[in-house]
Amino acid sequence: MKKIIPLWLIFLFAALNICNAQNATLQNFTIDAKATTETKALFYNLKNVSGKGVLLGQQDALMYGIGWKGEFDRSDVKSVTGSHPALFGWDLESIAKGDGSETQSAEKLESYCLQAYKMGGINTLSWHVQNFVTGKNYYDTTKCVSAILPGGEKHKEFTAALDKVAAFIKSLKSDKGVAVPVIFRPFHENTGNWFWWGKPFCTAQEYKSLWQFTVQYLRDKKGLHNILYAFSPDRISGNFDNYMERYPGDDYVDVLGFDNYYELKDINDEKSVELAVKSIGQICNYASSKNKIAALTETGQEKIVQPNWFTTVFNKIMSDTAASKISYIMVWRNAHTGHFYAPYPSHPSEPDFKNFYNDARTLFLNDIGKEIYKVK
């Protein structure tokens, strides 16, 4: 049986720092002055889990897995451990691309987000954005950023796509009408060269302007106050200047994340793993200094060819004083037997993943006890 410090107890002690005996008012540390109570609580609880435990997430976990699709309350993570992940990643590509399928896609994705919320889980939304200049997908690196900024020839098309994103996020409401908090992670891996918003295809200022406009549009123009905004470049190889080069500013970011597959793909490559851990530590230190959340927003080893990958990587992170302050880690999806990042029943990595689950420092859905949106 998993031995853990109950998360509700962590949250209870944390809450004592912000509540007084007469009025339990939740202080707002998000970038949104009008953030909903649940969104503020999510931020505060993610911040306070830092150093006490790490939440595990997976992309598309409830949608499908190895050998199944669309079965209610199922995930490969749950099939192995008995618990879903604590955090669920989804993507907005099909909702915003405007090819006529977005309504059906939105309804389907909405059902999964609400299912995750009702169970007490966290939803994080990425966006593989179509190229507005060519109409092709996100891998078309024709320069686009300057064209969609205010005054650009494709700005209207961009805001139309943002309207669809906003409508979807606004639709996420509980049975009681509560706006479901989400972590929104747009324009990710911007230090790479594979997306049109990547470093070779726009200036640092253009990228910052794009990010700032997006936040202002959703928060101020569309009136959405249930969003935490996550900044997530690709690996920075221990050079924090690479991370900050396109950072849009503390007033526009809640979660300091980054994606790193490459340096963690082989646990026997000690130099690369050390660089990854160093990067995590740098990001955690900055997050702590600015009262932000730190996260490894995408990672994993495709097909988990090294069966002890999870415990090895986790122990290396947790043995580092700075890196161990990370709040959550998300692995990518389980699409098929040639492309998966979490174990499934009978896979050779299953025993190691159970050890990972049983570690007192890892937090899955069963561990957070529906308390993530509350402060006791």
Q: List average pLDDT for each run of 10 residues in the chain, which is 376 residues long.
A: 54 45 68 97 96 97 97 98 98 83 83 97 97 97 98 98 97 96 98 98 98 98 98 97 98 98 97 98 98 98 98 98 98 98 98 98 94 88
**pLDDT at position 7:** 57
Report yes or no on 202 lying in a domain: yes
Written as six digits, the tokens of 123 are 């939803």
SS3 85: coil
**Domain total for the chain?**
1
**pLDDT at position 105:** 86
Report yes or no on 263 lying in a domain: yes
Q: What is the CATH number of the domain that holds 323?
A: 3.20.20.80
Q: Which residues contact 336 (CB under 8 A, 6 or more apart)?
A: 66
SS3 149: coil
- Let me know: does 294 contact 327? Beta carbons within 8 Å: yes
SS3 122: strand
- Let me know: does 189 contact 232? Beta carbons within 8 Å: yes
Is position 90 annotated in a ligand binding site?
Answer: no
**pLDDT at position 6:** 55
Report yes or no on 189 lying in a domain: yes
Is position 347 annotated in a ligand binding site?
Answer: no
**pLDDT at position 99:** 65
Report yes or no on 1 lying in a domain: no
Range of the domain at 234: 7-368
How far is 61 from 340, CA to CA, in rounded Å?
11
Active site residues: 189, 298
Report yes or no on 376 lying in a domain: no
How far is 3 from 25, CA to CA, in rounded Å?
32
Is position 138 annotated in a ligand binding site?
Answer: no
**pLDDT at position 1:** 60
> What global pTM score does this model have?
0.94
**pLDDT at position 170:** 98
- Let me know: does 320 contact 280? Beta carbons within 8 Å: yes
How far is 186 from 215, CA to CA, in rounded Å?
10
Report yes or no on 227 lying in a domain: yes
Q: Which residues contact 315 (CB under 8 A, 6 or more apart)?
A: none
Q: Where are the beta strands (DSSP E) in the chain?
A: 54-59, 64-65, 68-69, 87-91, 122-127, 182-186, 227-231, 255-260, 293-299, 328-331, 362-363
Report yes or no on 375 lying in a domain: no
Taking only Cα atoms into account, the Rg of the chain, rounded to an integer number of angstroms, comes to 20
Report yes or no on 374 lying in a domain: no
Residue pointed to by tokens 């009702």: 118
**pLDDT at position 23:** 34
Residue by residue, DSSP assigns 241-308 as HHHHTT---GGG-SEEEEEESGGGS-TT-HHHHHHHHHHHHHHHHHHHHHT-EEEEEEE--GGG-STT
Count of other CB atoms within 10 angstroms of residue 105:
17
**pLDDT at position 143:** 98
- Let me know: does 302 contact 290? Beta carbons within 8 Å: no
Side chain identity, residue 87: L
Closest CA to 57 of 307, 348, 286, 334: 334
